[in-house]
């Protein structure tokens, strides 16, 4: 199965799929970190997957999409941006310059891969605040124009046994002329999501939906062109759904997982360097306590309205009998989101090590211990996905691909 990987980072998508099967053939990959002289993430990628002509370190916006090899699966975790479009008369529509979704869209139209698997932050479903659901609606409209159907699911890795409460949307798209698409019965969307959908076997959900979106006695929401969606679409997407031929069905689902759960304490190291401890510096310790404490701050909105920004207490130190909180790119710095744990051996307070940050995402120990700084190692893990989720999706993809009567 020929695969192209976009926004590859340090290779989480590839690592997950290759752990699943040697039948995934990565024919091209691209990673580019803007505004950085040294491309540490790309260097880490080639450290593990080799320095090849097919591993590209260029801005995707500058690459001729015809030069990308033909492939059957396109994967990538792309940035969440503003997806609004502008009308350009006879030229049709034009996406906001620099928005990377439009580069994906160009690849879909140019290379026409049979399957697409993308990852993003879950707020994509609700953005922007001024026109709820518009950005995701634009994406779905683009997929429709390129002759794809789409299923999506927001998955919290911790709810399926992984050691991090990392909630991300996964988007699986498939060409409408594929055998897989012909098994999609859009007239029974509930049955598809709960029995036959892409995610259900590996990520089971409770059978009874809590919320379903219904408008005008119809389960589906129809919409117009990409430009029309950008101008007018406003819809609250739920965490699961499907789109096929301009029809959308969405419902709120809940996980139905009965396996084992990995806790934060299960991945903690028992012998770490002194530099990770915070109790040796009273000022640092107090700054962490203050950052984690509840607060109320008077603020003024862009429109000039006064409001109170409030945050509750965060556990200090972090509870290690549960999965870790979502790890951000600022991990280990003095801020509210960084984890502070009681070391299992010394019982002293410290931040997570880079190795522990890798374990939280399911990478091999010291995966990012290449030529990058420790700070950038944390940054890479804050941007990464949970590799085990991709392993599970790889199993699904292999079965789907076999059913397309391919030689695999």
The three-state (H, E, C) secondary structure of 151-197, written as one string: EEEEEEHHHHCCCECCEEEEEEEEECCCHHHHCCCCCCHHHHHHHHC
Number of neighbours of residue 321 by Cβ within 10 angstroms? 8
Position 217 confidence tier, pLDDT thresholds 50, 70, 90: very low
Task: For Cα atoms 135, 140, 144, give the angle at the middle one, nearest 5 degrees.
Answer: 145
Query: Does 172 score more than 90 pLDDT?
Result: yes
Query: To the nearest whole number, what is the mean pLDDT of the chain?
Result: 90
Q: Tell me the Ramachandran region of residue 341: left when phi exceeds 0, alpha when psi lies from -120 to 50, beta otherwise.
A: beta
CA end-to-end span of the chain, whole Å?
A: 7
DSSP conformation class of 353: P
Query: Does 308 score more than 70 pLDDT?
Result: yes
* Element holding 393 (H helix, E strand): helix 387-403
DSSP conformation class of 63: S
Distance between CA 277 and CA 293 in Å, rounded? 20
* Beta pairing class for 240-244 and 247-252: antiparallel
**CATH topology (fold) of 2-257+387-403:** Rossmann fold (3.40.50)
Token reading at 41? 């993430």
Find the mean pLDDT for residues 314-336. 96
Phi, psi of 20 (to 5 degrees): -75, -45
Q: Known catalytic residue: 142? A: no
Find the mean pLDDT for residues 22-34. 95
Between 214 and 249, where is the model more confident? 249
Position 95 confidence tier, pLDDT thresholds 50, 70, 90: low
Give the range among 45-54, 184-193, 227-236 with minimum mean pLDDT: 184-193
Instruction: Write out pLDDT tens, residues 266-281.
Output: 999 989 999 999 998 9
Find the mean pLDDT for residues 220-238. 82
Domain boundaries, the chain: 2-257+387-403, 264-383
Distance between CA 72 and CA 66 in Å, rounded? 15
Task: Check 61, 80, 142, 319 and give the catalytic one.
Answer: 80
Give the range among 4-18, 132-146, 293-307, 342-356 with minimum mean pLDDT: 293-307
Tell me which range, 83-92, 186-195, 201-210, 237-246, is most confidently predicted by mean pLDDT: 237-246
Query: Comparing C-alpha atoms, which of 176, 194, 288, 306 is closest to residue 240?
Result: 194
CATH number of 264-383: 3.90.120
* Element holding 360 (H helix, E strand): helix 354-361
Find the mean pLDDT for residues 374-379. 96
pTM value is 0.92
């Amino acid at each position: 199965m020929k695969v192209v990987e976009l926004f590859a980072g340090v290779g989480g998508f590839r690592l997950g799929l290759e752990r699943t099967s040697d039948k995934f053939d990565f024919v091209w990959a691209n990673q580019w970190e803007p505004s950085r002289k040294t491309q540490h993430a790309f260097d880490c990628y080639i450290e593990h997957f080799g320095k090849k002509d097919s591993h590209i370190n260029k801005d995707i916006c500058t690459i001729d999409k015809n030069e990308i090899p033909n492939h059957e699966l396109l994967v990538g975790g792309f940035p969440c941006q503003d997806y609004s479009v502008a009308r350009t008369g006879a030229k049709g529509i034009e996406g906001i310059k620099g928005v990377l979704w439009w580069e994906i869209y160009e690849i879909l139209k140019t290379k026409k891969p049979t399957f697409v698997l993308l990852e993003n932050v879950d707020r994509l479903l609700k953005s922007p605040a001024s026109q709820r659901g518009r950005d995701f609606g634009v994406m779905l409209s683009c997929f429709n124009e390129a002759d794809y159907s789409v299923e999506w699911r927001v998955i919290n890795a911790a709810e399926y046994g992984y050691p991090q409460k990392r909630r991300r949307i996964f988007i699986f798209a498939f060409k409408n002329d594929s055998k897989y698409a012909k098994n999609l019965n859009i007239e029974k969307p509930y049955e598809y999501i709960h029995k036959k959908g892409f995610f259900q076997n590996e990520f089971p959900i409770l059978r009874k939906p809590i919320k379903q979106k219904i408008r005008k006695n119809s389960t589906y929401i129809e919409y117009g062109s990409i430009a029309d969606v950008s101008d007018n679409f406003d819809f609250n997407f739920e965490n699961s759904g499907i789109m096929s031929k301009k029809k959308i069905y969405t419902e709120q689902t809940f996980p139905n997982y009965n396996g084992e759960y990995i806790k934060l304490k299960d991945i903690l190291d028992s012998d770490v360097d002194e530099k990770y401890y915070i109790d040796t510096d009273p000022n640092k310790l107090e700054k962490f306590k203050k950052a984690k404490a509840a607060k109320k701050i008077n603020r003024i909105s862009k429109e000039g309205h006064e409001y109170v920004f409030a945050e509750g207490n965060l556990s200090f130190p972090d509870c290690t009998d549960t999965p870790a909180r979502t790890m951000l790119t600022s991990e280990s710095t003095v801020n509210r989101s960084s984890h502070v744990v009681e070391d299992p051996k010394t019982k002293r307070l410290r931040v997570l090590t880079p190795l522990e940050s890798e374990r939280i995402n399911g990478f091999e120990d010291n995966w990012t211990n290449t030529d990058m700084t420790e700070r950038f190692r944390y940054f890479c893990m804050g941007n990464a996905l949970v590799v085990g989720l991709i392993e599970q999706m790889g199993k699904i993809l292999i079965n789907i691909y076999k059913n397309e009567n391919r030689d695999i």
